[in-house]
Amino acid sequence: MARPATAVIKLSAIKQNYLYAKSLATPAKAIATIKANAYGHGAIQVANELSDVADAFAVACIEEAKELRDAGIEQPILLLEGFFTADELTYISEYNLWCVVHSQYQIDAIKQSNVQKPINVWLKMDTGMHRLGFLPKQYANAWQQLEKVAQVNSLTHMTHFSSADDLSSLRTQQQTELFLETVGDLPGDISIANSSAVLSKAMPDRVQWVRPGIMLYGSSPIDTPEMAKSLAPAMTFKAKVISERIIEAGECVGYNALWEADKPSKIGTVSIGYADGYPRHAGTGTPVLVNGQKSQLLGRVAMDMIMIDLSMFEDQDCIGYEVEFWGDNIPVNEIAQCADTIGYTLLCGISRRVNKQYVK
Ligand SMILES: *Cc1c(COP(=O)(O)O)cnc(C)c1O
């Protein structure tokens, strides 16, 4: 037996969500974003599952791309931050990685490189997020510098939205207009749209490539019931009750004694903590599902354990009862709200110690 802290990952749900993203974006092609170990789900397993349907994959950096190539993944892989040092260009060329270029130092490095095969560049425009990319007034110049060098095979235009998850914001439309206007009639494919923009169909006809991430894992960044319903949660995060007791009225539970019983209370200890990726900011009242019944967290989350309410099982021996934290029955976004964060951080935060179980 092992410590019962498990993330059950339903690969078929990820495929279903990917195909759904593709159907929303059609005729554009969809790059499955599997950076950060596929948002905690396991990049190699997810890439293998999608290998017969995915048009391409996206990761943050060469370390993540290398892991996929070493595992035999043959699709194009886009490096969303491009390269950091010039020596990465050899590998990028050799392994046919698509490479974001967002800064002049990268252009200079490409010009000075002697790559064997010319590389495919995704030139990034900063249309208002002000994180990466060339400002619109610098963009044509960046494009022209790359267009004429032998080290470059193709150029794709891309930008990233700051506020696509906020349907009341005008920014997505403003960014799109600025982007299309600046690209003008420069040749090349264009790419915009994270999950939020795919889900809200904020895509002009001219788009060839969308880049959904979080939605593939079944969490909608636009938290409406309809959006949530259209996606299948891929990860169920769970553990078991490993200890139980009845405490008297007036007694307290956990670090800093944050929860106090107002009557004799049955409580249980569960083998999960913040070192597994359960959020420490979740407090008393955060929902859990124990043996199929709704219950709640009591007191402070510790590194390896939490305590929960077992009052609904007064006469039962609860040792070994399964406790779900999010997944099939509890939306990860609901727990994120309880912990003052977003679904992304919870999924990405599943730690190495958690046993991953893959199911079709
Ligand atoms: C992470 C990322 C995405 C995917 O975003 P989601 O919100 O997870 O869909 C798309 N494009 C870029 C540039 C990214 O960094």
Ligand 1 atom index nearest CA of 164? 7
Domain count, the chain: 2
Using the mean position of ligand 1's atoms as its centre, give its distance from the Cα of residue 31 in Å: 10
Do 84 and 224 fall within a single domain?
yes
Per the structure, the complete domain to which residue 296 belongs is given by: 235-359
Ligand 1 first shell, C-beta below 6 A: 33, 35, 80, 160, 194-195, 211-214, 221
Is residue 203's pLDDT more than 90? no
Ligand 1 atom index nearest CA of 214? 8
Do 27 and 144 fall within a single domain?
yes
Of the residues 204, 229, 254, which one is the last residue of a structural domain? 229
Q: Which two tokens stand for residue 14?
A: 């990820």
Do 39 and 165 fall within a single domain?
yes
Active site residues: 35, 255
Q: What confidence tier does 68 reach under pLDDT thresholds 50, 70, 90?
A: very high
pLDDT per residue over 277-324, tens digit each? 999 999 999 999 999 999 999 999 999 999 999 999 988 999 999 999
Using the mean position of ligand 1's atoms as its centre, give its distance from the Cα of residue 310 in Å: 40
Are 99 and 90 within 8 A, CB to CB?
Answer: no
| Mean pLDDT (the chain, rounded) | 97
User: Where residue 297 sits, what CATH number does that domain have?
Assistant: 2.40.37.10
pLDDT per residue over 157-170, tens digit each? 999 999 999 999 99
Do 27 and 90 fall within a single domain?
yes
Do 261 and 353 fall within a single domain?
yes
Do 272 and 163 fall within a single domain?
no
Is residue 1's pLDDT more than 70? no
User: 80, 125, 222: which to mutate for ligand 1, most atoms within 8 A of CB?
Assistant: 80
Do 260 and 280 fall within a single domain?
yes
337 Cβ partners below 8 Å, 6+ apart? none
C-alpha span between 5 and 259 (Å, rounded): 24
Of the residues 229, 251, 278, which one is the last residue of a structural domain? 229
Of the residues 229, 251, 273, which one is the last residue of a structural domain? 229
pLDDT per residue over 139-154, tens digit each? 999 999 999 999 999 9
Ligand 1 atom index nearest CA of 160? 13
> DSSP secondary structure string, 29-86?
EEEEE-HHHHHTT-HHHHHHHHTTT-SEEEESSHHHHHHHHHTT--S-EEETT--SST
pLDDT per residue over 206-238, tens digit each? 899 999 999 999 999 998 888 888 999 999 999
Using the mean position of ligand 1's atoms as its centre, give its distance from the Cα of residue 129 in Å: 13
